[in-house]
Structure 1
Amino acid sequence: MQSPASPLLLRDVPLWPNGKGSAVALAFDLDGPTGDAMLDGSLRQNPRYFSEGAYGPFRALPRLLDLLAQHALPATFFIPTWVVENWTEACTRILREGHEVAYHGHYHEYFRDLTPEAQLQVMERSRAVFQSRLGVTPQGFRTPSGDWTAETPALLRDFGVRYSSSMRGEDRPYVHPAPVGVTPLVELPARWDMDDYTALAYFEDPVFPEGQDRISDYRTVRANWIAEFEGYHAEGLFWTTILHPKVSAKPARLAILDGLFTAIRRHDSVWTTTLAEVAGWTLQQATKEQP
């Protein structure tokens, strides 16, 4: 795994396009019922898990897209391609409304447990589904497992992926080391603090959280998320999220997102964009900073 401290790490105070004071790229993982029960083969005997996951692309996604449109905010959606196959029209709407779609495995695989050959097979399968069902080739990737192997960054780069949003160790974009003359893979780090599972998730089978009985007060969650954004904005940093429609786009929880989106929109100096746009800007800056 590469350290953020590379020769191409961006300067301490990023200069965002058009004089903007910070960058926000909202990101959502549209996992549906992919994940543990699908990977271990128990999904067919677990309709509760399936229906909880299916709620995301079926019911929560339209609600979320309406709210994003209301605030005129773009977003990036990381989607396992099994979800693309089974909710193609829902994913088509994401693109139709100007958002970005990106790689997130096929069944939400644990990349840290896969050989490089197996990782490449997942990527090839995912690309084929995106191209055949949605007519696009994604630029970005978020590892479903929240981790990867030492070979993954180079594998993604050689596969044609432009950026990853998988690592946690920075609050600004950076690039992974690459051979001279090769376009590097951009890393757009996210933080567990902005994963809605940490405050709002409750699943009985597979059990999450362990021990159960933990849903945070919605007012506290909204205040925490707004405070996280405001802190990043005050320092002129890059900020993204790890949110899941099936977790945070339920009716009462939309007020949390609405409050967050309203707070972002209060600042005219925030560059609100997609992760692909931030990656493009990062590569331009990295090129300028090479000796």
Structure 2
Amino acid sequence: MQIKWPNGCKSAAMFTFDLDGDIIWQNMSADEPHADQLIRARSIGQYGPNRCVDMILDLLDKYGVKATFFVPGYVAEHNPAVIQKIAAAGHEIGNHGYTHERFVEKSREEQIEIIEKTQKIIKEITGKAPVGFRTPSGDWAVETPYLLEERGFSYSSSMRGDDRPYHTVLDGRVTDFIEIPSKWELDDYVAQAYSIYPAEPAGLDRISCYRNVQDTYLREFRGYHRYGLCISFLMHPQISGAPGRNLILEEILKEVTSHPDVWIATGAEIADWWRATYPTDPQ
């Protein structure tokens, strides 16, 4: 079935950025001796809010695109001016946990505390509580969607199992809590986050060839557009905001915006449209 998108558009595109700052690097080195002194590792993450956000915002403005930034509460707390700048530019801010926790490892009570703490922090900074959620590290617990729906979230962009939005089903009940899936092949961190840890599988380049990464993104977009689907680009400022990789982002923005029949929207806009247009998911 051909999906209906606003204004007769053929497909939809959502640009998202996980502003993880240095919290991932703090988490990875937590068990190392003198972890608080591993300044170089943490500086990789700090590069995101300190420099890369500005470069990304400039590109988004150049191409007239509004994006969604998913932000851990800890990062928002330590970079309030950056979060205000993103919001002031008209972009959406979403909830991304507090310290990029793996929700699958947390109790129900811990998850509630994390979700609500970050909601409060972001609302205090921007004046608006997030309506979108992305689970850190791509894993949430069985209870997580229930907790999000109970707290009035409009949507999540956490799962991988479709190429269209869909209504989350909880205990056999079709809810108005919308999922907007992304894919690993659309995640810049998977291909381009340099790591000192051994590559997996053995022999894999630590950083993929930029030409190949750009080709992957463009081919995925062309496929999604051909079939009238909803592509959700999943990027990180510390990766795609760096000068060389920013050129990849620009080529993607250039191609996507060259198609007048692509609806480019934030997560909140896509979720609202899907809910209003499809009270039940099309088959």
The two structures have a TM-score, normalised by structure 1, of 0.90
Indicate how the Cα distance of structure 1 residues 120 and 265 shifts in structure 2: closer, same or farther if over 3 A, else same. Answer: same
Q: Which amino acid aligns with 2:239?
A: V
Selected match of 2:23 from 25, 30, 34: 34
| Residues 97 and 115, structure 2, Cα contact 8 Å, conserved in 1 | yes
Separation in 2, partners of 1:182, 1:146: 22
Residue 18 of structure 1 and its aligned partner are, at CA, apart by 1.3
Alignment-derived partner of residue 153 in structure 2: 161
Residue 178 of structure 1 and its aligned partner are, at CA, apart by 4.7
Residue 188 of structure 1 and its aligned partner are, at CA, apart by 0.2
| Residues 48 and 238, structure 2, Cα contact 8 Å, conserved in 1 | yes
Separation in 1, partners of 2:231, 2:118: 27
Separation in 2, partners of 1:97, 1:277: 16
Selected match of 1:50 from 42, 48, 70: 42
Selected match of 2:217 from 211, 225, 228: 225
Q: Which moved more, 1:160-169 or 1:279-288?
A: 279-288
Separation in 2, partners of 1:14, 1:276: 18
Q: Secondary structure at the match of 2:273?
A: helix
Measured against aligned partners, the alpha-carbon deviations of 1:47-99 in whole angstroms (never above 9, x if no partner) come to 12211100000011101100111111110000001111111111111111110
| Residues 178 and 184, structure 1, Cα contact 8 Å, conserved in 2 | no
Unaligned runs of 5+ in 2: none
| Residues 70 and 133, structure 2, Cα contact 8 Å, conserved in 1 | yes
Selected match of 1:283 from 263, 275, 278: 275
**Percent identity of the aligned residues?**
40
Measured against aligned partners, the alpha-carbon deviations of 1:210-248 in whole angstroms (never above 9, x if no partner) come to 568522221221121111111100100000011001011
| Residues 61 and 249, structure 1, Cα contact 8 Å, conserved in 2 | yes
Separation in 1, partners of 2:173, 2:104: 28
Separation in 1, partners of 2:191, 2:183: 14
Q: Which amino acid aligns with 2:233?
A: T
Size of the aligned set, in residue pairs, is 277
Selected match of 2:229 from 224, 237, 249: 237
Separation in 2, partners of 1:76, 1:271: 15
Q: Secondary structure at the match of 2:17?
A: strand
Alignment-derived partner of residue 76 in structure 2: 84
Residue 193 of structure 1 and its aligned partner are, at CA, apart by 0.5
Residue 179 of structure 1 and its aligned partner are, at CA, apart by 7.6
1:70 paired with 2:90, answer no
Residue 30 of structure 1 and its aligned partner are, at CA, apart by 0.3
Residue 36 of structure 1 and its aligned partner are, at CA, apart by 5.5
1:121 paired with 2:113, answer yes
Alignment-derived partner of residue 199 in structure 1: 191
| Residues 66 and 266, structure 2, Cα contact 8 Å, conserved in 1 | yes
Selected match of 1:20 from 1, 6, 9: 9
Alignment-derived partner of residue 185 in structure 1: 177
Selected match of 2:239 from 240, 247, 270: 247
How large is the Cα RMSD of the aligned pairs?
A: 2.0
Unaligned runs of 5+ in 1: 1-11
Q: Secondary structure at the match of 1:253?
A: helix
Residue 141 of structure 1 and its aligned partner are, at CA, apart by 0.2
Alignment-derived partner of residue 148 in structure 1: 140
Q: Which amino acid aligns with 1:80?
A: P
Q: Secondary structure at the match of 2:98?
A: coil
